[in-house]
Each structure stands twice: as C-alpha cells, then as structure tokens.
Structure 1
Amino acid sequence: MLAIAGCAGAAVINTSEPPAQTATGAPTAAPSTPPSNAHLVNAFDYVAHVSDTTGYYFTTPSGKWRCAILTHTKAGCQASSSWQSGLGIDGEPDGNAIVVDRDGDPQFVTLEQPEFWLVPGPAKALQFNRILAAAGFRCNVQESGVSCQSEASGKGFTFSVQGFIPQYTDVPAGAP
C-alpha cells in the first residue's frame, strides 16, 4: 500500500490498483478544475474492516447520515435512523441508500444489508468542510449536504433532505 501525504499532512490512500480503462467513443466532459486536496483528513482515522471488506466509514456531524467508501468499489450513504428506512430526500426515489460505483452513475438503491454502517459503531464523524479521500473515491460534508465522487469516472452526488444533484460538490478552497 502506498500512502501519499499532501501539504496539509493528511494522507490519500492508493492501493496501487491500475486506473480503470475508459471506453472509446464520444469524449466525456472533464471537470473544469481538479478536486481540491486543501482540506483532507487522514484516511487512516476512518478505516475499518467489516467482514471481508475494507472501508472508510464516517457519520455526518449531525449524526443523520452514515456513509462509507468501500475500497475500489463504491461510496454511499444511508440514514442513521434505521438502515432499512428510506432516505427521505424531497422529490427522489425511496431507496434506503444513495451510491456511486467506480464507473457508474450515482443512484438510489435498496440494499439488503447496512453496507455503509460501521458495525459495531458508530463511525467517526467527518467534520464540516473536510474531505475523506481513499481507495479511488472522495467524500465531504458541508452544511449544505454530503457529497461523494468516484475519482475514476469523475461522477458523484451531493444530497441533503432538501434534494439531490448528480454531481460532486467540492469544499471551497477558502472554507474554514
């Protein structure tokens, strides 16, 4: 495993897996600016091994959402009230999780188990305006909601109880 430290001293975890191959055809739009690493946390503070899966688990400061980056597979969130309950996001499908896979679009899904819950838990809170980047994904929590992105595809989501947008929202560089 290779750990790369940024200027702020936080680690980005790279398990040396080769980057995903992209299909040929119509070019995809690249983000106008690369995601910021200005507010990274140390991913090792969030790592846990559940069953046979290594993940990076966190809750929001309010405790309303439980989220995880599951190594090189997906990132997502579920409600803290009950993993079986719907997310309760205005105007969106009533799945019990929101997920972005390594290469797919973000989507609402109904999971058969609490994939994004640290059991036993609870997971450590990811504080506002901090970025957890590990194993091909990045997530952050801002007062406006939770955001996660696949670094392989650039696809992601941002959500709160008020709504959902199918794109990652980065932490502003000047955020406290």
Structure 2
Amino acid sequence: MRATRPHVLLTVLCGVALTTACSSSVDGNAGPAPVPATQTPATTAQPSPTTRTTTAVTTTAAPAAQAAEYMGNENGSYYFTSPSGKFECAVVTAPAPVAGCHGQFPSDAPAVPTAGGSGTASANAIRVTAGKAGEFFNAGDPAFHRFDGPAKALPYGSPLRVQGFTCTVDQGSGVTCESGTGHGFTVSDSAYRLW
C-alpha cells in the first residue's frame, strides 16, 4: 500500500503542474492560455476599434470683385464676361437698374416677342430688374455689350455687387444675377433658371 502512495502523489503533482502550466490566472480565476500576439483565435476575435482622424476642410470664398474695375466709360454701367467667354454681361444702373447678359443660350430657351413687337424670335438676351422676375428677351441691339473697350472676365465665384444687384459666375451652373429684392436668373449654354 505504501508503494502506491508515492505514485498517487506523483500523479497529483503532475496534474497540478500541468494545470498551472496550461492556465492563466486573473484575480484568482483560471482562464484560457494566453495567445501569442501574432495569433488570434477565430472564436474570440474582436474587431479592432477604428480610429478616425477628421481634418477640418475650410473653403475660402472668392473675394468680391472691385466694382471700379468693371466700370465702363458710361457712368453707371459695369461690364464683365464669363471666364469661358460665352457670356457678355452688365449691370446698368440708369435709366432703370437692370442686370443681364448676351450669350450662348440653351436650345430650349423660350421664343420671345421681337424688339419691335411684331412677332416672336429667339431670345438674344436675359435680364433681371429689381421689381420683376428674370426673363429672356430680344434686345434688337446688344444691351449688355461694352462698346468702349473689352470687358474684364469676372473670376469664378467672385461676386460683383453693384446698386443692389449681385452677379457671379460658376464653372458648372453659369452666370447668376440676382436683385436685392430676390429676383434673378442663372444661365449657361445648356440650362437656365428664372425666378
């Protein structure tokens, strides 16, 4: 009987040694053996947290155009072209304030009364006044062309503010002119909007 006790004791000690070697103790509770950093068990894999870095994007508005740079020799007239050269535009303050353009209008621009009023014709101008919505019209003679020299291009996004009108040019949507009373137009060679 005594011969079997050391064998039992040895078996118990080996079992304790194996259990200790195969387990990890955290605050007294045995858990699974630690996994090397390069190996992740499929059953216990947790998604790693995603870190996002947010970079603030600041857009700087284009500076307003200096009205004096666009003034024609005729007092009260301010002329500009679109950078593409497709539109010639002006803000004319006398005798009645108006902002408008001549240019390559969309094919679906409406037919309008002729300048003489005896029928209809294709529009050759677009305008907005302080008290009326934007409209296409037939001017007969160019109403927004600078005759005393070349008009300066208005840079994209740079507003020209004159006598209650604001005109801008956007590379995508075209020329927009709006009155201080909220009427206006946007026109390009492919689309337009009147309000």
Bin for the TM-score computed over the shorter chain: 0.5 to 0.7
Query: Which consecutive residues of structure 1, in runs of 5 or more, have no partner in the other structure?
Result: 1-36, 80-86, 168-176
**Out of 89, 92, 107, which is 1:70 matched to?**
92
Secondary structure of residue in 2 paired with 1:45: helix
- Pick the structure with greater CA Rg: 2
**Out of 92, 95, 105, which is 1:88 matched to?**
105
Tell which has more relative contact order, 1 or 2 (C-alpha 8 A, sep 6+): 1
Q: Give the TM-score normalised by structure 1.
A: 0.64
**Equivalent position of 1:82 in the other structure:** none
Taking the TM superposition and a 5 Å limit, the aligned residue runs for 1:35-54 are 39-50=63-74, 54=76
Runs of 4+ in 1 over 2 A off after TM superposition: none
Give the RMSD, CA atoms, in angstroms. 1.7
Report the CA distance shift for 1:38/1:127 in structure 2 as closer, same or farther (over 3 A).
Answer: closer
Query: Which consecutive residues of structure 2, in runs of 5 or more, have no partner in the other structure?
Result: 1-60, 111-121
Q: Give the TM-score normalised by structure 2.
A: 0.58
Secondary structure of residue in 2 paired with 1:116: coil
* Cα separation, 1, equivalents of 2:67 and 2:129: 19
Any conservation in 1 of the 2:127–2:134 contact (CA below 8 Å)? yes
Q: Residue 41 of structure 1: CA displacement?
A: 1.0
More helix by share: 2
The number of aligned residues is 121
Q: Residue 58 of structure 1: CA displacement?
A: 0.2
* Cα separation, 2, equivalents of 1:78 and 1:122: 15
**Equivalent position of 1:57 in the other structure:** 79
